[in-house]
Structure 1
Amino acid sequence: MKPLSAFHTPKSVAVIGASNDPEKIGGRPIRYMREFGFTGAIYPVNPGRAEVQGLPAYPSVRDLPEVPDVVIVAVAGANAVEQVVICAEIGVSGCIVMASGFGETGDAEGLEAQERMLSAAPESGMRIVGPNSQGLANFANGAVLGFSTLFTEQPPLDGPVAIVSQSGAMCSVPYGMLREAGIGVRYAHGTGNDIDVSAAELALDIVADPDIQLLLLYLEDLKDPDSLALLAEAARKRDLPVIALKGGRSEAGQRAAASHTGALANEERVVDAFLKKHGIWRANSTRELVSATQLYLRARVPHGDRIAIVSNSGAVCVLTADAVDDYGLKLAEFAPATRGALGEVLPAFAAIDNPIDVTAALLTDSSLFGKVLPIVGADTAVHACIIGIPVAGRGYDVDRFADNIETFERDSGMPIVLVVPQSNIAEVFRERGLVVFADEATAVQALAQFLHHHQLMARSAGARHVPFTPQAIGKRMETVTLNEAQSLEVLQQIGIPVAQHVLVHDPSEAAAALAQLGGGRVVVKGCTSDTTHKSDLGLVRVGVDGPDEVAAVVREMFAIMEHHGLRNEGAIISQLVKGVHEGMLGGHVDPLFGPVVLLGAGGVYVEAMPDATVLIPPFTVDDALDALGQLRIAAVLDGVRGEAPVDVEAWAKAAVRLGDALVSDGSRIESLDINPLMLLERDGALQPTVQAVDGVVILREAPAGAK
């Protein structure tokens, strides 16, 4: 396939459906290329005109004096498909198809036309962006191959930010927000339906541009996760932050009927896990996509997330401290030397702890920021600083404040944000390039994103991606649900500890099984592959004691299975394991992302009150421990109110073993569900561990007679 660089640095561009009206879709790319400095050849294609916007026009792309690098297809319907076929035949490197009415409509006719368009490209190696594309724009060289009206409303300025969006509108909106804030944008791509070139592929080509310092993505689907993983890896190598906003939240892909894992590891959780694994920050709104841009472009890489707050208002100090807690940051604890130094420069009635209220004395002593900030910056416990100036103006030496804060930022090397609600005062700070917000919550949210994103990037530095082709397991594969005894055997093969158990096929075997388990109270369960919810049918009895009672319960299990028409595959007699807490562990093969692993609190309410997180294997024990630490149940795992601490590391190791098994060559596991996973007391004498007391495994297998 031909390289994507042609879309960014074309030497020649043809526009099929070129319009003499520079405000029409077929006219804007010509206008923009001429207006924004494109120096390559521009070839309007319009059989009805000899000239378009002062340029010679051609009746067909076949009539051009050369084969163009890129062709913009701005004609509709069947004509668009025909033109793409011709472009492939003559050897064009890339087509940008602006026409709509294809796969995005969801109707069979549109999908069929889209497939005809796509089938024209592979033999020649031509790449297709679109259809339904707003176009691509590179403002560094004027290759503005799109029709967005925002390029006239907010005139472009080349800069260090790139935007790649599957939606034209969600390319234009962040572009407009950034330009309104005075931030330059180099690339603004609205890719459309992505039938060939994906948004992630184009973004990967952009990552090679050394001038790009921030990459913003809008994704409506993630049908090309491998390219996104490659993009993330390339970005990490040059410490390039990537922020993604994902639309189209849905519950597609659940396997709730078969397992808790399928119900809880839904599409959104998997997307979150995938982005987190690869160091991509997920924004929740357009505002979050762009709000921290100035920090990414100006601030140096942070060393932690402990914050100092300095203001001339006690109320602002309180509100900012609340926001710091809301967004998961921490207030720095000043060293005694810091408090002592602050006490020497601040009025006696001022607070010398964090937050620092310099009080209204700032009105009469304009040097206070200049005195306080260097002291704060010298404290190694402080990683970033928020400065609130709610009221200033006449009587305040704002220029001196700005000088002092600019010097503090330069000398401390830490991220600094200001909260200045007065627009005219804020402009004084912005003119110096300082990062300014109008309110505390927005400022802290942006700072928290910046700090936590860099922590995420650092954690993902060693992320390893195992490529997965959607439906790689093959459409001819079927699934088979194992019974519990078979499932527990699979768990043991993976290396996950299971409760000691014996499978019996006749009540007369109960006494020997009980003796083999060492006696005592046991659990008796009917064993059948026809249902995964045995307790709902009365096929689980806990605390059965003595050989006679065990034999009686086995007979009862057999009777229940016969009553419900279930296959009788025996009864499991299992050691009664009492954990301090119950966890769960599961995995399945997502049809798009491949293997995923779920960890969470276990028990009968896992779906009603979910407390779970998803990881994309392969991952490390530290990754699993970090994920477990984010659960609500984490607060009690170390032991509270006299309870014993549990072996969390054993849980993490079991998760790693499961993840490794899922991504191993030849794995047949489609889904695996362990609930509960008993979390045992952490006690060296007892060999700290976890134990699976129940399991459901679904395997893939070829249908009978398949070759």
Structure 2
Amino acid sequence: MSTERRNLDGLVKPRSLVVIGASNDATRIGGRPLYLAREFGFEGNVCGVNPKYAEVLGFPCYPALASVPYTPELAIVALAAKDVLGALSSCVDKGVKAAVVFAGGFAETGTVEGRRLQEDIAELCRKTGLLVAGPNGIGLINVANKSYATFMSAVLDARPVLGGVAVVAQSGGACIAVHNSLHARSVGENYILNTGNEACVGFSEYVGYVAADPSTKVVAGYIEGLDGSDGFVEKMIELRERNLPTVLYKVGETPAGAEAAASHTARMAGSHGVFKAALRQLGAMRADDMEQLAELAYLAQFSHRTAGLKVGILTTSGAFAAILTDKFVGAGLSVPRLSDAAQAALRPHLPAIATVVNPVDITANVVNSPDGFEDALATMLRTDELDVVVFFSTANLIDGLTPQMVRAAGASSKLLCVLVTGQTRRVGDLEAAGIPVFRDTGRGASAVASMAHWNVQKETWKHWPRPVSPQPARRMSVAGVLDQARAGGRTSLDEKEGKEILARYGIPVPAEAAATHPDEAEQLAEDIGYPVVLKVLSPDIVHKSDVGGVKLSLANRAEVRQAYAQIMASVSARLPSADIQGVLVQQQAARGVELLVSCTVDPLFGPVLTVAAGGLQAELIADVAQRLLPISKEEAGELLAELKSYPLLTGYRGAPAANLDAVAELLASMSEMAVELKDDISEIEVNPVIVQPGAAMGGVLAVDCVVRLS
């Protein structure tokens, strides 16, 4: 797939179309696009190709594409997989610029034949410039253009309403599900695009196309896998810079889910954790299921209203005051207690029995005394103590209070959201005034929380990625270590070599040296100073403790000699083929909080930094925070604060706080190293980094590391 900007009008906004493999049966794949063209009033020329018919569903039909008396802009290929390439070749001969291929049986099958058939299509596209959607897709819909190059029957049961949500999905079923959910909410769409197997045009290129349309107000995407070939990161940054809301749902969170997605689309699902972290920096909202994708797309239409993390709850129910508080706090928002001044401003407008601390419970008594409601709501929208206001009540009360809400919202730029039980009749009036309405309180609260986080995050990351100034001299200073390893046919460095690279980037490491004989180990221990640690030195051994390759707290010569012998015997017995280069004699670090810090090169996003609770239990605890690189020292500090174990660094239960500035400095140095060496090193893992509570500057040590070469 090309990353260059191509004009996709022929695919997505055709002025004429032909169905190759046309059928006179509107329920068949070759008949449905013709039926939809007639049903929705497509204004361009339409015809079919099938030697069986002279006419199909009221349109002219020809025995071959060459017989068509004009050159259609789009060809819809409704043929079996084995006949697709021939049909596409005839499109090239006719001068047709674009084609939609419905058939399956290509790379998604996982077979050699299927992959070959798809590669043949891709090669034809590369050579001729033909644009192809699919194969293995349900097609493309442009609601404004009335072009329905699809066999999707759902559009007949739930006819699209023209609006501002563009749906782009790597699954036909996902297209249908999102469309149905949006339609149920009376949300208008301008595009419904299924990418299929993406032999020619990829997900990100479709996103770029719909985003360039001024009628697009929200992009809603479903992703199964991306391979980095169509500029996803660049497209997301472009949308973020234009402040165009983007909502994405990616499957593959579990290994089983990732495997299912890969078999469905013939692409690797990638690291889900990295993807979640990336969306935050790229300025997209993340959905957890298909229904939430539709809900966030609906809510994102109101993104011109500001929303932040401080929520004001106005309700007629004490129970829902508590329920919504739990929901918002659980989603990472706050429900702050209003100041005495704010409470005093509210009190005159509410019944004496009302609670005004936040949540503000006005009770069902508002039925009898509605006069103060508008002023109370306006007061909550005005105060700087709240970023967003949510009003919960029953349908009949919502209907009665709609005029007051419309007037209050009109005087504020903040997001006001209505959560309602029952079927309110005035949804349209509220939405027209910029007030979204949710009938499910839990899902509504979740959507508002996502929108609030998005508003904050897009400001935080709007300058990412910052330009990086390369330092060739530093890069050259580590070239010798890397070249020597490659010359020996190695794919990784030993711990000593890895630490040498860390030190070049200003990352503190313990005093250490390599020994190839017990006498040498004893002398090094004396020079370094007790206590010391002995570790097996081998580029082939990652988890040294698992093979008896580590001995701690050695306090004298005798213990060092004994430890040397035990390590050699244990490792040789368990890994007889390992390249053992001796032992590393290392200063034993003082106790502290252990972190794991790693940098990997993701195939889609490039260098990624991971920080986690470290030590032997790192994989069990799974306390992880991630960022795409590069990041600054300040951003590194924000990343660190996301760990659940962060309180251990700030003085948990009276313990002295660690030097957080030194930890952030280490993370920023790791970022520089990973970006600078991304073409040389595929992974750097430092585990543990020991953070010594109460330590002055430099109170961190990179105690152990693994470095894998690209």
- With the length of structure 1 as denominator, give the TM-score of the two structures: 0.90
Deviations 1:68-127 (A, max 9, x none): 322111111211121112223444322110111222222222222222222222111112
| 1:446 paired residue number | 447
Q: 1:526 and 1:224, CA in 2 relative to 1: closer, same or farther beyond 3 A?
A: closer
Residue 242 of structure 1 and its aligned partner are, at CA, apart by 0.8
Matched, 1:641 2:645: no
Q: 1:35 and 1:374, CA in 2 relative to 1: closer, same or farther beyond 3 A?
A: same
Matched, 1:663 2:675: yes
Matched, 1:297 2:297: no
Q: How does 1:471-510 map to 2 (within 5 A)?
A: 480-510=491-521
| 1:533 paired residue number | 543
Matched, 1:407 2:407: yes
| 2:589 paired residue number | 577
Q: How does 1:360-375 map to 2 (within 5 A)?
A: 360-375=364-379
Alignment partners' CA distance in 1, 2:205 and 2:466: 16
Deviates more, 1:30-39 or 1:78-87: 30-39
| 1:416 paired residue number | 416
Please say if residues 508 and 698 of structure 2, whose CA atoms lie closer than 8 Å, have aligned partners that are also in contact. Answer: no
Alignment partners' CA distance in 2, 1:340 and 1:623: 39
Matched, 1:174 2:178: yes
State the Cα RMSD in Å: 2.7
| Residues matched between the structures, number | 675
| 2:691 paired residue number | 679
Alignment partners' CA distance in 1, 2:333 and 2:213: 33
> Aligned to 1:674, what secondary structure does the other structure show?
strand
Matched, 1:283 2:295: no
> Aligned to 2:125, what secondary structure does the other structure show?
coil
2:532 counterpart letter in structure 1: V
Q: How does 1:291-690 map to 2 (within 5 A)?
A: 291-390=295-394, 393=396, 400-424=400-424, 427=427, 430=430, 434-464=435-465, 480-517=491-528, 519-564=529-574, 565=576, 566-664=578-676, 667-683=679-695, 686-690=696-700
Deviations 1:4-43 (A, max 9, x none): 2322222222211122233322222223233334322223
Q: 1:488 and 1:399, CA in 2 relative to 1: closer, same or farther beyond 3 A?
A: closer
> Aligned to 1:596, what secondary structure does the other structure show?
strand
2:673 counterpart letter in structure 1: A
Alignment partners' CA distance in 2, 1:175 and 1:428: 19
- With the length of structure 2 as denominator, give the TM-score of the two structures: 0.89
> Aligned to 1:331, what secondary structure does the other structure show?
coil
Please say if residues 13 and 70 of structure 1, whose CA atoms lie closer than 8 Å, have aligned partners that are also in contact. Answer: yes
| 1:258 paired residue number | none
Please say if residues 71 and 94 of structure 2, whose CA atoms lie closer than 8 Å, have aligned partners that are also in contact. Answer: yes
Residue 640 of structure 1 and its aligned partner are, at CA, apart by 1.6
Deviations 1:311-369 (A, max 9, x none): 12211211111211122111133232221122222232221211111123212112131
Q: 1:224 and 1:484, CA in 2 relative to 1: closer, same or farther beyond 3 A?
A: closer
Alignment partners' CA distance in 1, 2:488 and 2:155: 50
Please say if residues 242 and 280 of structure 1, whose CA atoms lie closer than 8 Å, have aligned partners that are also in contact. Answer: yes
Deviates more, 1:538-547 or 1:158-167: 538-547
Alignment partners' CA distance in 2, 1:283 and 1:183: 17
Matched, 1:229 2:233: yes
| 1:160 paired residue number | 164
Please say if residues 220 and 297 of structure 2, whose CA atoms lie closer than 8 Å, have aligned partners that are also in contact. Answer: no
1:508 counterpart letter in structure 2: D
Residue 56 of structure 1 and its aligned partner are, at CA, apart by 2.1
Please say if residues 15 and 26 of structure 1, whose CA atoms lie closer than 8 Å, have aligned partners that are also in contact. Answer: yes
Deviates more, 1:641-650 or 1:121-130: 641-650
1:412 counterpart letter in structure 2: S
Residue 178 of structure 1 and its aligned partner are, at CA, apart by 1.0
Please say if residues 89 and 124 of structure 1, whose CA atoms lie closer than 8 Å, have aligned partners that are also in contact. Answer: no
> Aligned to 2:665, what secondary structure does the other structure show?
helix
Residue 585 of structure 1 and its aligned partner are, at CA, apart by 0.8
Deviations 1:557-580 (A, max 9, x none): 344444443443122111111242
> Aligned to 1:675, what secondary structure does the other structure show?
strand
Is there any run of 5+ residues in structure 1 with no aligned partner, and where?
A: 255-264, 467-475, 701-707
1:580 counterpart letter in structure 2: G
> Aligned to 2:403, what secondary structure does the other structure show?
helix
Greater RCO, CA 8 A, separation 6+: 1
1:142 counterpart letter in structure 2: K
1:311 counterpart letter in structure 2: T
Alignment partners' CA distance in 2, 1:93 and 1:31: 23
Residue 289 of structure 1 and its aligned partner are, at CA, apart by 0.3
> Aligned to 2:584, what secondary structure does the other structure show?
strand
Deviates more, 1:343-352 or 1:67-76: 343-352
Residue 250 of structure 1 and its aligned partner are, at CA, apart by 4.6
Deviates more, 1:21-30 or 1:369-378: 21-30
2:508 counterpart letter in structure 1: P
Q: 1:325 and 1:250, CA in 2 relative to 1: closer, same or farther beyond 3 A?
A: closer
2:612 counterpart letter in structure 1: G
Is there any run of 5+ residues in structure 2 with no aligned partner, and where?
A: 259-268, 468-486
Residue 62 of structure 1 and its aligned partner are, at CA, apart by 2.1
1:599 counterpart letter in structure 2: V
Alignment partners' CA distance in 2, 1:198 and 1:31: 28
1:481 counterpart letter in structure 2: S
1:516 counterpart letter in structure 2: D
Q: 1:125 and 1:665, CA in 2 relative to 1: closer, same or farther beyond 3 A?
A: farther
2:687 counterpart letter in structure 1: N
Residue 682 of structure 1 and its aligned partner are, at CA, apart by 4.8
Q: 1:568 and 1:102, CA in 2 relative to 1: closer, same or farther beyond 3 A?
A: closer
1:699 counterpart letter in structure 2: L
Please say if residues 70 and 94 of structure 1, whose CA atoms lie closer than 8 Å, have aligned partners that are also in contact. Answer: yes
Matched, 1:41 2:45: yes
Residue 444 of structure 1 and its aligned partner are, at CA, apart by 0.8
Please say if residues 42 and 147 of structure 2, whose CA atoms lie closer than 8 Å, have aligned partners that are also in contact. Answer: yes
> Aligned to 1:19, what secondary structure does the other structure show?
coil
Deviating runs (4+, > 6 A) in structure 1?
none
Please say if residues 253 and 591 of structure 1, whose CA atoms lie closer than 8 Å, have aligned partners that are also in contact. Answer: no
Please say if residues 11 and 131 of structure 2, whose CA atoms lie closer than 8 Å, have aligned partners that are also in contact. Answer: no
Matched, 1:698 2:708: yes
Please say if residues 399 and 428 of structure 1, whose CA atoms lie closer than 8 Å, have aligned partners that are also in contact. Answer: no
> Aligned to 2:452, what secondary structure does the other structure show?
helix
Q: 1:58 and 1:226, CA in 2 relative to 1: closer, same or farther beyond 3 A?
A: closer
Q: 1:647 and 1:266, CA in 2 relative to 1: closer, same or farther beyond 3 A?
A: farther
